[in-house]
Amino acid sequence: MTETREIERIVAMALDEDAPWGDLTGETLIPETATATADLVAREPGVFSGARVVEATFRLVDPRIEVELRIADGGRFAAGDVIARVAGPARGILRAERVALNLVQRMSGVATLTARYVQAVAGTRARIVDTRKTTPGLRSLERQAVRDGGGRNHRRSLSDAIMAKDNHLAVLTAGGADLAESLRAARERMPHTAHLEVEVDRVEQIPAVLAGGADTVMLDNFELDALREGVALIGGRAIVEASGGVNLDTVAGIAATGVDVISVGALTHSARALDLGLDVVIEAGSA
């Protein structure tokens, strides 16, 4: 689960961006003593992500605002469902509204799309993972949303694992280096707790990558027959990851080839924000 301090950092930055010198509308139009109750309502079905983001947004604006969550992270909801209810000073609720919605709509969109991919590969050994193709500044939240949708996380950053991609290999081979020897040398220099992944774009590269000691071999943009050939050639000596050309129409076929991991950039770079709204609750007899 995303750390509270990281959530607060992201939310505080968003609040400062949205109201750098205060909420001019709320402060001039809404009485300081006014209170309100509002519901976070789903306009369409989906998978919820962002419970602690909702809580943090309203709390950082005004700690007197109470947040009652009715659906937990990873929970499914239908159109019309109330996901959360907030109550307290009206100015604070109105100031926090857009930031809370922006973040939770984004996270729930990622979680909902991830859940569709996970369902598409159900019954296979393949697990769906994200990539570093995230919204700058929101990686922690989007990675949590992937988990809430039933997916897994790839490396968080360039600092977390060694991942030799096509451009790395192009630089190496342009200088005449032997791929297997270069990978073995890298293993000698890397921490013993680190993971070595190597991307290949053709079957012929696999033997050298295995000889170099790769922990994971990424088969990038392979056709289905080539994926099956790659899985057989690797033969359990490394984790097999498939990437490239993955969408909801192709992911089941990719999973059926026997790969262990399918990385999907679309989980975060193409997820549509879910339609959620914050509706003020009008109590009977309050008019």
What is the tens place of the pLDDT at every residue in 129-155?
Answer: 999 999 999 999 999 999 999 999 999
**Cβ neighbours of residue 165 closer than 8 Å, sequence gap 6 or more:** 199
Both tokens of 286, joined, read: 């309050």
Report pLDDT digits (tens) over 71-102: 999 999 999 999 999 999 999 999 999 999 99
For residues 91 and 32, is the Cβ–Cβ distance under 8 A? yes
Q: Which of 54, 90, 59, 92 is nearest to 71 (CA)?
A: 54
- Supply 27's token pair: 């402060």
Catalytic residue among 39, 130, 142, 199: 199
Q: Which residues sit in the known binding site?
A: 98, 131-133, 155, 165, 199, 220, 243-245, 264-266
Catalytic residue (choose from 165, 187, 201, 215) = 165
Instruction: Give the C-alpha separation, 175 to 190, whole Å.
Output: 22
Residues near 250 by beta carbon (within 8 Å), at least 6 away in sequence: none
> To which residue do tokens 């609040």 refer?
15
220, 228, 229, 275: the active-site residue? 220
Tell me, letter by letter, the H, E, C secondary structure of 194-219. CCEEEEECCHHHHHHHHHCCCCEEEE
d(CA 205, CA 191): 25
State the CATH class of domain 4-117+272-280. Answer: alpha beta
Q: Which two tokens stand for residue 61?
A: 């604006």
Third-level CATH fold of 120-269: TIM Barrel (3.20.20)
Residue 116 designated active-site: no
User: Bigger pLDDT: 123 or 284?
Assistant: 123
Strand partners, 196: 162
Q: Does residue 133 have an active-site annotation?
A: yes
Mark whether 55 is an active-site residue. no
Domain ranges within the chain, ordered by starting residue: 4-117+272-280, 120-269
Q: Which residue in 98, 116, 127, 156 is the catalytic one?
A: 98
The token pair at 170 is: 């192009």
User: Model confidence over 30-86: pLDDT tens digits?
Assistant: 999 999 999 999 999 999 999 999 999 999 999 999 999 999 999 999 999 999 999
Q: Looking at 116, 133, 152, 228, which residue is catalytic? A: 133
- Asked if pLDDT for residue 285 goes beyond 50, the answer is no
d(CA 51, CA 44): 18
The binding site for substrate consists of 98, 131-133, 155, 165, 199, 220, 243-245, 264-266
Pick from 106, 169, 93, 182: nearest CA to 140: 106
The pLDDT, as a whole number, for residue 283 is 62
3-state SS, residue 220: strand
182-229 tens-digit pLDDT: 999 999 999 999 999 999 999 999 999 999 999 999 999 999 999 999
What rounded mean pLDDT belongs to the chain? 95
Q: Which two tokens stand for residue 96?
A: 């926090």
- Round to whole Å and give the CA distance between 210 and 241: 14
